[in-house]
Amino acid sequence: MAGLLALLAVNVGAAQTLTPTLRVVGTAAPWVDGATYRGRSPGAAARDLYAGRADVALVSSPLPPPPGGRRTLAVPVGVFAVRVAYRLPGVTLRLNVTTLCRLLDGTVRVWNAPEVQALQAPGVTLPALPVLVSARTDANGASFAVAQACVRAGAWPRARLKATWTGGAAFTPGSAEAQARNLDLPGALAVRGPGALPAGVGVARLRSPDGVDVPPTPALGFVGTPGARSGLPRTPFGLLPSANAPGAYPLRGLLWAVTLADQAYGGRTEARARAVQAWLGQLRAADHAEFAGIPAPQRFPIRLTFGGRALTGPNVRERSGLSQGTLSANSGDGRAGPED
């Protein structure tokens, strides 16, 4: 009997040290083990996170602040390609950033306009269809990535550097799902983050910094200047550096993992807090078909606390030459908010 009791004690102790299964919500499913996932809009994900029903929210737009003066920690965990989706049957579309911006803001209104036709491969003739832009009214990472590129190209004024814009749009859906339905129409054009596209929708090739027409590829596409401080922003919707690597796809955004900075809430344990810290490090180091992991030099320390006491671990000791973005899309008329 004594031996049986000893064995039971060992088993109970082992069970107590097992890594907890985390609960993840948001707009993208995680691509490493150790968590369950439930798809939720950013607004709903924030409510789950702050109420203790979820450990981490994966989103490409900032969440509303938590109640009670609590703070969040947002960690970039993946780079995704922003796709230019269109419905022009039989056409393999090629664009540069400037012409894309002029299509999106309504400056160029027909597909066979000379500046669009000039970018196409020999033998491709664009139809005389109106450009039907679908631009989301909810804040999203794809729209902000395009706004950054258009402002940097000089095609849009700085005032349009927002997480949502609708100028020149024929349709203004409030979600990615509603926008997908707009793409059923001939001549439709939209920018899209990760996820499935409707059948028959094309994805444009874009001109790289060195003049090559490239398909969307999830990669940072950035080569830093030796000795310069440059990298990913520390806050959601800080500015990404422009893609400058040869053959780099120019439109890309970030997926963020958001959690509470102090993990001692809602009856949580320190073991669970350490599991969150370790899991975030694993997620950002791994690649996925739609997300590139964060390069090691661009990772910043994942600093969480439990009851005000700092948690230690390998992800806390990482160092990088990271600079923080200087402008947030949360400011001005295009401020990001809950998506429901």
Q: Are residues 73 and 88 in the same domain?
A: no
% of the chain surpassing 90 pLDDT? 74
The residue that leads in pLDDT, 104 or 61, is 104
* SS3 category, 180: helix
pLDDT in tens, 27-66: 999 999 999 999 999 999 999 999 999 999 999 988 899 9
Question: 161 in a domain, yes or no?
Answer: yes
Q: Are residues 200 and 287 in the same domain?
A: no
Question: 327 in a domain, yes or no?
Answer: yes
Residue where one domain finishes, among candidates 215, 241, 272: 215
pLDDT of residue 40: 93
pLDDT of residue 272: 97
Question: 339 in a domain, yes or no?
Answer: no
Q: Are residues 174 and 88 in the same domain?
A: yes
Q: Are residues 180 and 112 in the same domain?
A: yes
Question: 37 in a domain, yes or no?
Answer: yes
Give the model's confidence band at 306: pLDDT under 50 very low, under 70 low, under 90 confident, else very high. Answer: very high
> Which residue range is the domain that position 203 belongs to?
83-215
The helix (H) or strand (E) run that includes residue 73 is strand 72-81
Question: Are 150 and 106 contacting, i.e. CB atoms less than 8 angstroms apart?
Answer: no
Give the model's confidence band at 232: pLDDT under 50 very low, under 70 low, under 90 confident, else very high. Answer: confident
Q: Are residues 116 and 192 in the same domain?
A: yes
Q: Are residues 262 and 167 in the same domain?
A: no
Q: Match 């609590």 to its residue by tokens.
A: 70
Q: Are residues 28 and 97 in the same domain?
A: no
* Segment 2-25 mean pLDDT: 60
Question: 221 in a domain, yes or no?
Answer: no
Question: Are 85 and 183 contacting, i.e. CB atoms less than 8 angstroms apart?
Answer: yes
Q: Are residues 132 and 160 in the same domain?
A: yes
pLDDT of residue 142: 96
pLDDT above 50 (res 338): no
Question: 243 in a domain, yes or no?
Answer: no
Assign residue 272 the CATH number of its domain: 3.40.190.10
The residue that leads in pLDDT, 7 or 294, is 294
Highest mean pLDDT of the ranges 16-30, 174-188, 295-309, 321-335: 174-188
Q: Are residues 56 and 124 in the same domain?
A: no
Question: 16 in a domain, yes or no?
Answer: yes
pLDDT in tens, 149-164: 999 999 999 999 998 9
Output the CA torsion sign for 115, 116, 117, 121.
positive
* Segment 252-281 mean pLDDT: 96
Q: How far is CA 222 from the centre of its chain?
A: 17
pLDDT of residue 214: 98
β-pairing, 205-207 with 94-95? Answer: parallel
Q: Are residues 108 and 183 in the same domain?
A: yes
**Helix axes 97-104 and 141-152, enclosed angle (nearest 10):** 120
Exposed, middle or buried, 210 (CB in 10 Å: 0-12/13-18/19+)? exposed
Q: Are residues 316 and 284 in the same domain?
A: yes
Q: How many domains does the chain have?
A: 2
Q: Are residues 122 and 48 in the same domain?
A: no
Closest residue by Cα to residue 256 from 113, 16, 74: 74
Question: 197 in a domain, yes or no?
Answer: yes
The residue that leads in pLDDT, 241 or 181, is 181
Residue where one domain finishes, among candidates 189, 215, 241: 215
pLDDT in tens, 194-204: 999 999 999 99
Residue where one domain finishes, among candidates 215, 239, 274: 215
